Structures are given as structure tokens and as C-alpha cells.
């Protein structure tokens, strides 16, 4: 099943709490994620039908016109597979045999989620997890697996998108079992 998401990231926690309260009182959406990301940042991810999500998005755009709400990052992502949403901060369970492993590191979590959706739609690899809110700088990381050529092509495809939030893109061919058993993200 496909979902529409609105991804909200706040540069201060109190604004995030105020908007979270408004959302729960005024919009018929599901809260997928509501969490502190790092000191001073807060994230909310909502899902629902296209009309309700678009209504919420218009409300957020209206709020951003006001001085006290100008530091909200928002993105609308339509047609996201429900299984991808379940991979947010999912503990990594590697397949029995990992052919090649790809990792994309972003300066924010919103772009990581948006790119993971792109990868699911456009590449023959499997997204294993989307780690959000990593470290002091609120990074996002997408980890995916597939055959060597598919992982390499996916890394190149994402690099060619020239996403300004992309920090690093790596592929590891035939990762060692000791590496995989000790891998923590």
C-alpha cells in the first residue's frame, strides 16, 4: 500500500511540540515518527490520505510565513510504500549472503527519507534501514543491499542527482562476515 508523507523538521523543540499539538487536534493523519533528533531539533513524520496530508502541508506553509515558524523544514513525499516507512530506524538484519552494501549519508533526515523512497522506486536494490537523527548534527543514513552492479549504479545515480545534503556515498563489495556481525549504525 502506498502512503503520502509529510516530513517536518524543526530547528527548535518547542516549536515542534506546538505544531505536534496542532496536528493531533486538527488533522486526521497518522503519526509515524515524533522524536527529538539532537539537541535543539525535533522531527514529525505524518502519513495519511493525499487530501489530508496536502491540507496539513498547506497549513505548515502558512505557519512558515510567520517569523516564529520560519525554521521549519517540510517535504511532501507521495506514493511511499508502507514497507519503506517500517524501515525507519529499523534494526539491521542482513540477508544470509550480502552481495554488495551501499550507504548514503545525508546532512539531514528529511533528505535521507526522500532519497530512500527514490531508491525503492528507481533501483533494483533493497533498502535495509533508514537511520534518522544520528549524532549531534541530525544526519540521516540509508543502507541498502543488492548485487554489485545494482549497488554501484544506485550510488552513481544518487550522486548524479547533485543533492546538496548528500555527504557521502559508498559501496562495499562482498562485505566480510566479521564486518557484518560487528556492524552497528
Residue 128 has pLDDT above 70, yes or no: yes
* Whole-angstrom distance, CA of residue 59 vs CA of residue 1: 26
One fold for both 2-82 and 87-181?
yes
**DSSP code for 88:** B
Q: Quick one: pLDDT at residue 97?
A: 83
* Whole-angstrom distance, CA of residue 185 vs CA of residue 15: 29
pLDDT tier, 185 (very low <50, low <70, confident <90, very high otherwise): low
Q: 60-84, pLDDT tens digit by residue? A: 999 999 988 888 988 888 888 888 8
Q: Quick one: pLDDT at residue 90?
A: 83
Residue 10 has pLDDT above 80, yes or no: yes
Residues 78/50, Cβ–Cβ less than 8 Å: yes
* Whole-angstrom distance, CA of residue 47 vs CA of residue 72: 18
Max avg pLDDT among 40-44, 88-92, 95-99, 112-116: 112-116
Domain regions of the chain by residue span: 2-82, 87-181
* Whole-angstrom distance, CA of residue 24 vs CA of residue 29: 8
Which one is the CATH code of 2-82: 3.90.480.20, 3.10.270.10, 3.30.70.1710, 3.40.50.1100? Answer: 3.30.70.1710
Q: Which three cell numbers stand for residue 168?
A: 557521502
Q: Quick one: pLDDT at residue 36?
A: 85
pLDDT tier, 93 (very low <50, low <70, confident <90, very high otherwise): confident
Helix segments in the chain, DSSP class H: 13-26, 50-64, 82-85, 109-122, 148-160, 177-181
Q: Given phi > 0 = left and psi -120 to 50 = alpha, else beta, which region is 106?
A: beta
Residue 169 has pLDDT above 80, yes or no: yes
Residue 136 has pLDDT above 70, yes or no: no
Q: What is the mean pLDDT of residues 112-131?
A: 93
CATH superfamily of 87-181: BMC (bacterial microcompartment) domain (3.30.70.1710)
Residue 19 vs residues 12, 32, 136, 181: alpha-carbon distances, Å: 11, 15, 23, 40
Adjacency order of strands within the sheet including 2-10: 30-38, 41-48, 2-10, 72-81
Q: 137-166, pLDDT tens digit by residue? A: 678 899 999 999 999 999 999 999 999 999
Amino acid at each position: 500500500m502506498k502512503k503520502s508523507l509529510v516530513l517536518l523538521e524543526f530547528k527548535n523543540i518547542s516549536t515542534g511540540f506546538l505544531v505536534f499539538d496542532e496536528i493531533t487536534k486538527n488533522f486526521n493523519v497518522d503519526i509515524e515518527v515524533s522524536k527529538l533528533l539532537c539537541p535543539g531539533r525535533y522531527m514529525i513524520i505524518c502519513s495519511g490520505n493525499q487530501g489530508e496530508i496536502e491540507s496539513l502541508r498547506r497549513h505548515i506553509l502558512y505557519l512558515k510565513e510567520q517569523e516564529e515558524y520560519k525554521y521549519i523544514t517540510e517535504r511532501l513525499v507521495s506514493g511511499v510504500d508502507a514497507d519503506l516507512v517500517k524501515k525507519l530506524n529499523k534494526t539491521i538484519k542482513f540477508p544470509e549472503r550480502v552481495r554488495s552494501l551501499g550507504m548514503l549519508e545525508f546532512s539531514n533526515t528529511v533528505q535521507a527519507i526522500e532519497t530512500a523512497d527514490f531508491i525503492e522506486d528507481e533501483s533494483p536494490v533493497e533498502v535495509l534501514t533508514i537511520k534518522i537523527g544520528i549524532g549531534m548534527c541530525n544526519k540521516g543514513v540509508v543502507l541498502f543491499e543488492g548485487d554489485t552492479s545494482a549497488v554501484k549504479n544506485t550510488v552513481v545515480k544518487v550522486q548524479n542527482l547533485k543533492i546538496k545534503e548528500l555527504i557521502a556515498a559508498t559501496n562495499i563489495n562482498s562485505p566480510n562476515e566479521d564486518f557484518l556481525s560487528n556492524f552497528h549504525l
